[in-house]
Structure 1
Amino acid sequence: MRLPSVTSLYGRIFAIFWFTMFLVILAVLALPRLDPRLTKDIASRHYHGMLQVRDKIEQRFSSQQAGTKELSSKADLNHILDSFDNRSKRSDEPKLRLYLTDPDGNIQAWSRRSDFSLKALRNFVTTIDDPLKPQQKLYGKTMLSGPIPVDLADKKYFLYFGMKWNEPPGFLLQLFDHPFRLLLAVMLVSTPLLLWLAWALSQPARRLEQAAQRVTQGVFETDPELEKGTSEFRQAGASFNQMVEAVNMMICRQQRLLSDISHELRSPLTRLRMAQALAIRKQGESSELIRIDTEAQRLELMIAKLLELSHIQVDSHLNREAQPLSSLWEGLLADSQFEAEQMGKTLQISDIPDRSMICSPQLLMSALENIVRNSIYYGKDKIIVSFVEHKESLSIKVEDNGEGVPDEELESIFRPFYRVSTARDRHSGGTGLGLAITESAIRQHNGTIQASRSTLGGLLIEISLPLIS
């Protein structure tokens, strides 16, 4: 199964983030070009409207001044603009303020009702490079547009238009004046979107990670939610579920095989012990028959332990519950302390922390019991069990002053059927599965276990288990 790489996933998120930020910066640099206070070309429909106004002015002047070839004064020009301005107020036409200049840019007339600064008009006139290409520019709340050539009494003039302009809002103009404010505003708007995008992209990865963690805990269950999201994660989720189903089938087959093997082994083993008992009855006890009985018992115990190990590896996740530490091991340690006293040995136990963990109680009790009883059996006269509480984990140390285990074999004692070469294991009669069962139980609870040399001279077993936060 090919799983999406976490590195590539977050790389993709960062790539999208920086690409979006690039677009944001590009927008910040481009937005000032939309500032209406910059000189811009006039939109086509507005330009045609201005031409219609120009034509109406020329037509009206022609009808009023029929036969007159020239204007007598600026007052006549003002009268023309005022008359059109008054007409516009009585109609649906835009309420314009009109201005006339001569070809040299000198202001000749303007609407008397105009409340606009002629200084700003002069500034606008000087920005026009080509009179044949009308422009527009915002001054305060007035949008100036022009020039439009107009003929009045056979004289050439240029017509300029002033219109009240309420767009854009004042705060947007402030953003245009301060690019860093604009950048900050765009980032404030885009950051929640980017965070949501990153969250949405990472959700399938989190579900896949949680499913993988459940598998490490021995929970082999398919999750339909994994097959949702982007096509890449849907494919990975489907492959993951197929893998879980395959593992479940493999474990079931293994379990069935072990059960069949145990049944087939126990049947001849039972017949062997019956034959050994009949032989003792007929011939009496002998060292050979006693050896046969001992080995048969060891074989039967080994089969039982092997089945126990198999069940631990498969079923440990089925009976998990929150359990206080004291209820797990307090009774067990009290019984072990009594057992040690009967053997003339001392078992020292530190206080058990007042914390809880999610676990299979019987499994963890059996795991610690295996270690403590081994220490009692192999220790000379002193065994120490200590509990150390950390923020999110518990450390358990079990050590004795026995002969210990050679350093080169410390990592091997948790392997099934491994027998150390020292006297610690030679006469024990064990199966070599006790520590393997313990190690499997600890690993099933997301813990760790390791062996080392104790300061007492014997063996030190240290366990680390996660606690409930």
Structure 2
Amino acid sequence: DEIGELGKAFNLMTTKLYQVEERRKKFVSNVSHELRTPMTSMKIVSDTLLSSPSWDESIYREFMQDINTEIDRLNKIIDSLLYLVRVEKDELELDLSMTYVNYLLEWVIKTLSPIANNKNIQLSLNAANKIQIQLDQEKIQQCLLNIIGNAVKYTPENGRVVVDLEENRDFIIIHVRDNGIGIPEKDLPFIFDRFYRVDEARARKTGGTGLGLAISQQIIQLHQGSISVSSQLGEGTHVAITLPKK
């Protein structure tokens, strides 16, 4: 009956509001944690330096480098947060221009090759056809560096990362496949959440802000595109980025 349907609608609305509030609380908690961590590190290092006026210069330089690293990390987190806020407030405008996607991918592969080579990872690109579409080159470049960079980061030594560029009548599709450690199925629905980490210990070891995937998704959506992820734990991950041609 009508009252029953109204009750169901009210319960659904209440549930959604509760979920939004829980996500907000979790986000605030995560932001506080992420900002506090580098500040705590800097505090410990500075206290250590102040505890003795006669540190050897080499040790002093090492401690100062640690502080500098944490400051850089803090700046990256703040910059990423401000970027996301601008996106959500519709303050971020796209600087669209006709761009060859294959050349853009070649640049990203070249940029990440030293990191891949250091781990003896085979990083390859299959993009035989020249494909030109309108996009914001700088923002898509940032997105691709995040996605392909993650594939390299979480693929063990002697692994492989393969990037394929395809097209159909209406869209281009960029596939990023790796044979890395993979993502547990239970974590897949949350990997685009801000600060979400599949493995906190691994995240601390590899670095990063925990905002790269959230930013990448926002960039793709600004272009009226989509991004999807499938993965098998211990076998690898496949990321598909779809962008409209028009």
TM-score between the two structures when normalised by the length of structure 2: 0.68
Partners of 1:400 and 1:454 within 8 A in 2: no
Partners of 2:42 and 2:70 within 8 A in 1: no
In the other structure, the counterpart of 2:31 is: none
2:219 alignment partner, one of 441, 444, 456: 441
SS in structure 2 at match of 1:397? strand
C-alpha distance after superposition, 1:335-354 (max 9, x if no partner) = 32343123211012101532
Partners of 1:399 and 1:459 within 8 A in 2: yes
Provide structure 2 residue ranges, at least 5 long, that are not aligned to the other structure: 1-34
Partner Cα distance (2:225, 2:231) in 1:
20
Partner Cα distance (1:410, 1:383) in 2:
20
Partner Cα distance (1:297, 1:351) in 2:
35
Could you tell me which amino acid in structure 1 is paired with residue 155 of structure 2?
G
Check 1:353–1:338 CA distance in 2 against 1; reply closer, same or farther (3 A cut). Answer: farther
Partner Cα distance (1:406, 1:429) in 2:
20
Partners of 2:102 and 2:127 within 8 A in 1: no
Check 1:340–1:425 CA distance in 2 against 1; reply closer, same or farther (3 A cut). Answer: same
Q: How many residues align?
A: 198
SS in structure 2 at match of 1:305? helix
2:127 alignment partner, one of 351, 367, 370: 351
Please tell me whether residue 421 in structure 1 is matched to residue 190 in structure 2: no
C-alpha distance after superposition, 1:418-453 (max 9, x if no partner) = 111376535222221010011111111011111111
Partners of 2:188 and 2:230 within 8 A in 1: yes
Please tell me whether residue 385 in structure 1 is matched to residue 154 in structure 2: no
Partners of 1:399 and 1:460 within 8 A in 2: yes
Check 1:423–1:463 CA distance in 2 against 1; reply closer, same or farther (3 A cut). Answer: farther
In the other structure, the counterpart of 1:412 is: 190
Percent of residue pairs identical: 29
- Deviation, 1:310, is 3.0
Partners of 1:393 and 1:464 within 8 A in 2: yes
Could you tell me which amino acid in structure 2 is paired with residue 280 of structure 1?
L
In the other structure, the counterpart of 2:49 is: 280
In the other structure, the counterpart of 1:336 is: 112
C-alpha distance after superposition, 1:90-139 (max 9, x if no partner) = xxxxxxxxxxxxxxxxxxxxxxxxxxxxxxxxxxxxxxxxxxxxxxxxxx
Partner Cα distance (1:455, 1:324) in 2:
34
Partner Cα distance (1:329, 1:388) in 2:
12
SS in structure 1 at match of 2:138? helix
SS in structure 2 at match of 1:383? strand
Partners of 2:182 and 2:234 within 8 A in 1: no
Partner Cα distance (1:450, 1:303) in 2:
26
Where do residues 224-239 of structure 1 align in structure 2 (5 Å cutoff)? none
- Deviation, 1:297, is 5.2
Q: Which has the higher contact order (CA 8 A, sep 6+)?
A: 2
Could you tell me which amino acid in structure 1 is paired with residue 77 of structure 2?
M
SS in structure 1 at match of 2:113? helix
Partner Cα distance (2:127, 2:115) in 1:
19
- Deviation, 1:356, is 1.8
Check 1:456–1:394 CA distance in 2 against 1; reply closer, same or farther (3 A cut). Answer: farther
Partners of 2:185 and 2:232 within 8 A in 1: no
Partners of 1:325 and 1:357 within 8 A in 2: yes
C-alpha distance after superposition, 1:143-183 (max 9, x if no partner) = xxxxxxxxxxxxxxxxxxxxxxxxxxxxxxxxxxxxxxxxx
SS in structure 2 at match of 1:410? helix
Larger radius of gyration: 1
TM-score between the two structures when normalised by the length of structure 1: 0.38
Check 1:433–1:467 CA distance in 2 against 1; reply closer, same or farther (3 A cut). Answer: same
Partner Cα distance (2:45, 2:210) in 1:
25
Partners of 1:454 and 1:460 within 8 A in 2: no
Could you tell me which amino acid in structure 2 is paired with residue 306 of structure 1?
L
Where do residues 174-323 of structure 1 align in structure 2 (5 Å cutoff)? 273=42, 276-277=45-46, 279-283=48-52, 293=67, 298-313=73-88, 314-323=90-99
Provide structure 1 residue ranges, at least 5 long, that are not aligned to the other structure: 1-264
